[in-house]
Amino acid sequence: MTYETQVKVRFSDTDALGHINNTSYFAYLEEARIDLLQHLGFTAPGAQTQRDFPFMVASASCDFKNQAYAGEILHVSTSLERIGNSSFTLQHHLTRDDGTEVAVGTAVLVYFDFQSGGTSPLTKEMKQTLQSLS
């Protein structure tokens, strides 16, 4: 199963060449991740502090496949790639309306315990919820 969301490319997301600036893709991936975590019940809509989010990004990457421009709507399909002991990996595919792949991103998130200041093992319930994406 994949989770689908959309992002609109703003003019401010573009660079002097007129296409999406490479840094903007990471904001799109973050938006998709937060939307997914809220959908799965891990975060409350309107969460205001970092303690409202039980996961931290340990790693993020993005491969750019085709250019995209201001005003376009990009579809972000997010799927679960791997579940580890204290982390999980998400893969994001960004496409245009016509199905053209624009970018592929990957993010590794770790379960973070703010009291201890370090990572903690994912709970059995967390793993079951995440497996609903497989």
State pLDDT tens for residues 11-55: 999 999 999 999 999 999 999 998 999 889 887 666 655 556 789
The residue extents of the domains of the chain are 3-131
Token pair belonging to 23: 């840094």
DSSP 127: H
pLDDT of residue 47: 61
pLDDT of residue 117: 86
Q: How much of the chain exceeds pLDDT 70, in percent?
A: 93
Rounded Cα gap, residues 92 and 64, in angstroms: 12
Three-state helix/strand/coil letters over 36-72:
HHHHCCCCCCCCCCHHHCCEEEEEEEEEECCCCECCC
What is 3-131's CATH topology?
Answer: Thiol Ester Dehydrase; Chain A (3.10.129)
Q: How much of the chain exceeds pLDDT 90, in percent?
A: 76
pLDDT of residue 25: 97
pLDDT of residue 113: 83
Token pair belonging to 93: 């595919």
Beta bridge partners of 91: 79, 106
The CA–CA distances, whole Å, from 67 to 7, 23, 47, 83, 88 equal 15, 13, 33, 31, 29
pLDDT of residue 44: 60
